[in-house]
Structure 1
């Protein structure tokens, strides 16, 4: 596998093939609302690449494999519910992909189809590019949620953002236990703490970096209300950190974003994570560094599209 790591960060070597008119896909379902085509077409146009990026609303892995094995295909994105299903069909995985057990990006190297996970980079860069490190370095992290996105968030907090301890808050205890078990089995879960009551939260040190990985729904059940009260307890502690709200659809500004802002926390919109994971994908496909990619142009295009969609 022609993939190296520098200080723990995956470094993708430039593609061996010269795709003059390449094509790629976003493989998942449902994906009609995805901003990925806009993001990548903006990047490709800025780099003068005659590449296309298509939505592939499907769960048919064999169909997807037949498309990406076309000589014109530079790679593709993979989203729910296919992030785990695609793994057995790949030739190799990057260390980060193995660590979180989910693949959201595939690319070609040395005639091998490689799987990686750029959601981690999305979380990492959302903080590093937007927040003073004094907000989160050497403090506990916090993850709200219990799915695959939570594993990526935990990995980013532990491996890149200096969080030796990470609190997990979720309405479903079994989901939290599954996340903790997986992360421990992969070597980055020893500092995880399931916070299940407000009394427990009150006794803990305040977190610095928080990631919300849940849909924007108001609490209804007793378990949902307890999880919300635990979050509010952490937000009300003296140290005011930064909250990355991963949810940005159908609205960008969520209830958790509003709660965090009112508590004095810095709020990072979910579009930042989406954009930076997309830059990491483009880096794997093109071999360009982040400094070579049109960061501001992409942010402006995404903001314009979201503004238009709200009209």
Structure 2
């Protein structure tokens, strides 16, 4: 049965409305994030929580005249694809859509999907690492995990971050095999290496960039314990790089983040990737960059949320917040244009 955290029909006085569509989503900072942008720009726009498993309910809402787009999260990132008219190369190659946006073409509304997670990963590193050349350029990368987020991480490391080999560490070999096959079939799977034993990890050059895409649970099974030992060995190697911990719920400072910090790695919180992918979402919806002054306000909001987590012991007091780390203007980066390709087997609601 579908459910929503807020009254999705409460749109009186709004010029445009969008949604965060997923389940569960009560922990998400997305509506707060985008509300900050809309309010700062004096826009009568809003993003509503739609905590639901009902795809048809969501598709019906997208047909409303005021709809501007949506953040799409689990478990719908794959399920939404057949219902879109077109996909950007990022969504097509990663095989997941986290952002729905609309365009008018020949008097008809077109529904498009993209994946801004890859941009979030990229900019989380480039906005926080002072010397990418010394830290991760022309060095191996490492991805922890074997799902859709892992594909996004491989894409970002391969397409944007000048990595050489990309190691994949995960408890489930079949998931790794699926990631490697997927990426290879789409042209960015070269030099992917499944590091499945401690012995193999000993023989490999240390990575410069790590993206951890797994929940913050202590290892219990033999496979999970092996994966953790491999990660620890990689972190112990002589070269110390930067690690992006994508997990920030229920707390942004995870066991892996703590181990990396103790070994001398620069730890980048998952809220960093969330900020930059969210700014990219706003650019697709509004078709213009977010002004620097507004970006600063957004950072402040996220910093406040992190400070609240610290109050209850959910984040380390020494961790830098996005408000103090992220300073550059998103518009200083190369333009990422929404070049789209038609998807197949389009299903209409």
Query: In structure 2, the residue corresponding to 1:24 is in which secondary structure?
Result: strand
Distance of 1:173 and 1:298 partners within structure 2 = 39
1:73 aligns with 2:57: no
> 1:20 deviation in Å?
7.1
Query: In structure 1, the residue corresponding to 2:67 is in which secondary structure?
Result: coil
1:247 aligns with 2:247: yes
> How do residues 267-306 of structure 1 correspond to structure 2 at under 5 angstroms?
267-290=267-290, 292=292, 294-306=294-306
Query: In structure 2, the residue corresponding to 1:74 is in which secondary structure?
Result: strand
Distance of 1:23 and 1:91 partners within structure 2 = 20
The answer (yes or no) to whether the contact 1:279–1:293 under 8 Å persists in 2 is no
Structure 1: give runs of 5+ residues left out of the alignment. Answer: 1-18
How large is the RMSD of aligned CA atoms in angstroms? 1.4
What is aligned with 1:91?
Answer: 85
The answer (yes or no) to whether the contact 2:14–2:46 under 8 Å persists in 1 is no
1:101 aligns with 2:95: yes
> How do residues 33-182 of structure 1 correspond to structure 2 at under 5 angstroms?
33-110=27-104, 111-131=109-129, 132-133=131-132, 134-182=134-182
> 1:291 deviation in Å?
5.0
> How do residues 199-210 of structure 1 correspond to structure 2 at under 5 angstroms?
199-210=199-210
What is aligned with 2:6?
Answer: none
Alignment deviations for residues 133-162 of structure 1 (CA, whole Å, 9 cap, x no partner):
121111110000001000000000000001
Distance of 1:140 and 1:183 partners within structure 2 = 17
Query: In structure 2, the residue corresponding to 1:278 is in which secondary structure?
Result: helix
Classify 1:222/1:73 alpha carbon distance in 2 versus 1 (closer, same or farther; 3 Å): same
Query: In structure 2, the residue corresponding to 1:43 is in which secondary structure?
Result: helix
> 1:290 deviation in Å?
4.9
The answer (yes or no) to whether the contact 1:212–1:244 under 8 Å persists in 2 is yes
The answer (yes or no) to whether the contact 1:43–1:293 under 8 Å persists in 2 is no
Alignment deviations for residues 234-291 of structure 1 (CA, whole Å, 9 cap, x no partner):
1111110000000011111110001111111100001101111111100100112255
Distance of 1:187 and 1:292 partners within structure 2 = 35
Query: In structure 2, the residue corresponding to 1:41 is in which secondary structure?
Result: helix
Runs of 4+ in 1 over 3 A off after TM superposition: 290-293
Aligned residue pairs total 293
> 1:296 deviation in Å?
2.2
> 1:165 deviation in Å?
1.3
TM-score normalised by the chain length of structure 1: 0.91
Distance of 1:164 and 1:98 partners within structure 2 = 23
> 1:21 deviation in Å?
1.2
What is aligned with 1:5?
Answer: none
> 1:294 deviation in Å?
2.1
Distance of 1:293 and 1:77 partners within structure 2 = 23
The answer (yes or no) to whether the contact 2:20–2:71 under 8 Å persists in 1 is yes
> 1:55 deviation in Å?
0.6
Classify 1:145/1:293 alpha carbon distance in 2 versus 1 (closer, same or farther; 3 Å): farther
The answer (yes or no) to whether the contact 1:143–1:211 under 8 Å persists in 2 is yes
> 1:168 deviation in Å?
0.1
